[in-house]
Amino acid sequence: MSDRLHDAFAYRADEDNTRVLHVEDVPVPSIAQRLGTPFYCYASATMVDLYGRFAAALEGTRALICYALKANDNLAVIQSFARLGAGADVVSEGELRFARAAGVPAERIVFSGVGKTEAELAFALDEGILQFNVESAPELARLNAIALDKGLRAPIALRVNPDVAAATHDKVSTGRRHDKFGIALERIPALYAEAARLPGVTLMGLALHIGSQITELSPFETAITRVVELALRLKGQGLPLTRLDLGGGLGIDYGDDRPPSVKDYGALLSRLTAKLDIELAIEPGRALIGPAGLLVTRVVYLKEAGDRTFVIVDAAMNDMLRPALYGAEHPALPVAEPDPRAPQGPVDIVGPVCESADTFARDRLMPPLQPGELIAFGQAGAYGAVMASSYNRRPLVPEALVKGTAVATIRERWGYAEMLARERRPDWLA
């Protein structure tokens, strides 16, 4: 089953000659011993490999790979991509600050999002970022005013809503007419011409992002084709256009998905934009960090109820929300390599939180499991730790980064004392 995971994850013999799941050269149980469970851990080698695939796929174009921080905003993760040459796609002042703290140069940062506040726009202007992806006429007006006030010009792209259904989960589709993102395609020419006249902005081009976990090339092809046609029209009218930001969204394999390769995705982008001969930016998140992460948890109890067997683990929806939010399922691997002859049976893998949605897998075929055993959820590097909370007063989950034989704790588990210390009681309760 580990063949679904990146090569950095494999069953190998540990020091005691027991075959266990490794992250690069580190046995998973040794990280569990150090951090306790549950925890996330990431393989540096996978990040390097995946970034390299994007860079290779876009060779020959003038493309900047802006890692979408929303997928995983741990400082060490951002810094790992920054070291490889990545820029950043941010959607808040917090993400912008983290990108800068991780060493991403401001001139490699694009700022997306429908609700950028005045304070966020001002902060990003002062930082001198590469581009604001403007998502509405009011945002354009506000950014222009703030920039004028500061005696600056804001480099902008207008984000196009191309009205394309991305064949993905409803909650991660962003490019349909009724989605809140971007500006309707037919409204762009007028707004673009207006933006060209504004003294507080410099018009760089157009931006696009149609959704996430997209596992076919056709929605990308349709959307990019529409945007390239639009770009050609705008250029034909003598309007400035030097960059196209094509967003992120490339899917990964959670089990039954068969996403296109990064190579084919890159080839499509190159082909569709060739006529324009301009700078490109892309904003991959999931496809860069998803396959690099595991969420490791320990079996607490086995419980038989009716005709079901529940494997109750110590990770919960507060640690990884995707199953509860999207009905997503992740590969689940026993950390101790199962005997291939062991009979497999259907189980429900559930967490301890008081919600039925706290279910990681239903009717999953697993070999026999024992309380105390470790299970690793694969493909958990993206939209995992970032969405974690302390719901049910569970301390925020820690994260580790592996590189060869080295392990670093890159976010510590919150302590109960720390959680208590952040609370304040009003005088009237004293």
Give me the helices (H) in 92-243, please.
93-101, 118-127, 137-150, 188-197, 218-236
Options 194-202, 224-232, 263-271, 285-293: segment touching ligand PLP (CB under 6 A): 285-293
Q: Cβ of residue 161: shortest distance to ligand PLP, in angstroms?
A: 12
Angle between helices 75-83 and 44-57 (to 10 degrees): 40
6 binds ligand PLP (CB under 6 A): no
284 binds ligand PLP (CB under 6 A): yes
As a whole number of Å, the CA-based R_g of the chain is 23
Closest among 265, 290, 292 to 280, alpha carbons compared? 265
Among 182, 200, 249, 381, binds ligand PLP (CB under 6 A): 249
Amino acid of residue 137: A
Closest among 417, 418, 378 to 23, alpha carbons compared? 378
Q: Cβ of residue 323: shortest distance to ligand PLP, in angstroms?
A: 17
394 binds ligand PLP (CB under 6 A): no
Q: Which two tokens stand for residue 230?
A: 């639009």
Q: Which of 15, 340, 354, 427 is catalytic?
A: 354
Q: Does 354 participate in catalysis according to the annotation?
A: yes
Options 231-239, 242-250, 264-272, 364-372: segment touching ligand PLP (CB under 6 A): 242-250
Q: Cβ of residue 219: shortest distance to ligand PLP, in angstroms?
A: 12
283 binds ligand PLP (CB under 6 A): yes
Q: For ligand PLP, which is the closer residue by CB, 68 or 410? A: 68
Q: Cβ of residue 382: shortest distance to ligand PLP, in angstroms?
A: 6
Q: Which two tokens stand for residue 38?
A: 């549950």
# residues contacting ligand PLP (CB under 6 A): 18
Contact 169, 326 (CB under 8 A): yes
Contact 50, 263 (CB under 8 A): no
252 binds ligand PLP (CB under 6 A): no
Q: Which two tokens stand for residue 117?
A: 């506040």
Three-state secondary structure call for residue 197:
helix
Give the x-and-dash track for 373-392 against ligand PLP (CB under 6 A): ---------x----------
Among 37, 44, 79, 112, binds ligand PLP (CB under 6 A): 112
Q: Cβ of residue 144: shortest distance to ligand PLP, in angstroms?
A: 21
Q: For ligand PLP, which is the closer residue by CB, 44 or 112? A: 112
248 binds ligand PLP (CB under 6 A): yes
Options 5-13, 65-73, 224-232, 328-336: segment touching ligand PLP (CB under 6 A): 65-73
Q: Cβ of residue 245: shortest distance to ligand PLP, in angstroms?
A: 9
Amino acid of residue 368: P
Q: Cβ of residue 211: shortest distance to ligand PLP, in angstroms?
A: 7
Sequence-ordered list of residues with C-beta below 8 angstroms from that of 277, at least 6 positions apart, any chain: none
70 binds ligand PLP (CB under 6 A): yes
Among 24, 73, 89, 314, binds ligand PLP (CB under 6 A): 89
Q: Which two tokens stand for residue 332?
A: 């689940």
Report the C-alpha gap between 421 and 423 in whole angstroms. 6
244 binds ligand PLP (CB under 6 A): no
DSSP letters along 230-287, please?
A: HHHHHHHTT----EEE----B---SSS--PPPHHHHHHHHHHHHGGG--EEEE---HH
68 binds ligand PLP (CB under 6 A): yes
> φ, ψ for residue 154 (rounded to 5)?
-90, 125
DSSP letters along 296-346, please?
A: EEEEEEEEEETTEEEEEES--TTT--HHHHH-----EEESBPPPTTSPPEE
87 binds ligand PLP (CB under 6 A): no
Q: For ligand PLP, which is the closer residue by CB, 52 or 404? A: 52
Handedness of CA 340, 341, 347, 351 (dihedral sign): negative
Q: Which residues are catalytic?
A: 354
Q: Which residues bind ligand PLP (CB under 6 A)?
A: 68, 70-71, 89, 112, 174, 209, 212, 247-250, 283-287, 382
